[in-house]
A = this chain, B = another copy of it.
């Protein structure tokens, strides 16, 4: 009923960051430096400081450990089983985050296909599983894909995002009809040139999280 004492669990945050690259969902992992899990891969995260909010802690630890900052972040679930951390009682508030893919990462940081994760420290496998379920569900009723894409992109690229995350192919004609009918996109200048016919570029009319109705 009053402030903390030494009997309290420690409070931590963990962040499951996803991107889509090479037509596959990828998860951001860091190598554990110390303790019982030294050498294993784990989600970025750590202890919450006394005067910061949970989300701020998540952003700080993510930036420090991986250099990633300024991305979409939302609270996922709180994992608090008494034995989840062999070092002592730690209650961890997990966040899930999305980012457009970018280049290489620092040492001891890696993008790993979400379908083939190595053994992870703590209960982070369960955290990733929970985050993936949330991600798939949320794509169906929000415009969150925009967080995975650069400012302009082709409809083919957009469709690849949905296919990578939902794990199945979509009909191109129906997809274009549906997406364009939502009015979320505007034509961007220029075209994407590749080894084949150039594709029109599009951009999101608004780059902020919104409820919508798709798929």
| Shortest distance from the beta carbon of A124 to any chain B beta carbon, whole Å | 15
Q: Mark A2-27, 1 if CB is under 8 A from B, else 0.
A: 11111111110000000000000000
Distance between Cα atoms of A46 and B47 in the complex (Å): 22
Which residues of A come within 8 Å of B, CB atoms? 1-11, 34-35, 46-48, 50-54, 75, 77-78, 80-82, 87-91, 93
Query: A6-B6, A52-B82, A77-B75 known; A11 and B87 CB under 8 Å?
Result: no
Chain A facing B: main interface SS: loop
Distance between Cα atoms of A78 and B1 in the complex (Å): 18
Q: In the assembled complex, which residues on chain B have CB atoms less than 8 Å from the CB atom of A47?
A: 1
Q: In the assembled complex, which residues on chain B have CB atoms less than 8 Å from the CB atom of A89?
A: 3-4, 50
Q: Are B53 and A1 in contact (CB under 8 A)?
A: no
Q: In the assembled complex, which residues on chain B have CB atoms less than 8 Å from the CB atom of A82?
A: 50-53
Q: In the assembled complex, which residues on chain B have CB atoms less than 8 Å from the CB atom of A4?
A: 6-10, 88-90
Q: Are A53 and B35 in contact (CB under 8 A)?
A: no
Complex partner residue of A7 from B1, B35, B50, CB under 8 angstroms: B50
Q: In the assembled complex, which residues on chain B have CB atoms less than 8 Å from the CB atom of A3?
A: 10, 87-90
Q: A137's closest neighbor in chain B, by CB?
A: B141
Distance between Cα atoms of A77 and B54 in the complex (Å): 12
Distance between Cα atoms of A149 and B114 in the complex (Å): 40
| Shortest distance from the beta carbon of A131 to any chain B beta carbon, whole Å | 15
Q: In the assembled complex, which residues on chain B have CB atoms less than 8 Å from the CB atom of A50?
A: 7, 9, 82, 89
Q: Are A54 and B80 in contact (CB under 8 A)?
A: yes
Distance between Cα atoms of A88 and B3 in the complex (Å): 4
| Shortest distance from the beta carbon of A211 to any chain B beta carbon, whole Å | 10
Q: In the assembled complex, which residues on chain B have CB atoms less than 8 Å from the CB atom of A8?
A: 4, 8-11
Distance between Cα atoms of A1 and B88 in the complex (Å): 9
- Among A3, A9, A82, A87, the one with the most B-chain Cβ atoms within 10 Å of its Cβ is A9
Q: A88's closest neighbor in chain B, by CB?
A: B3
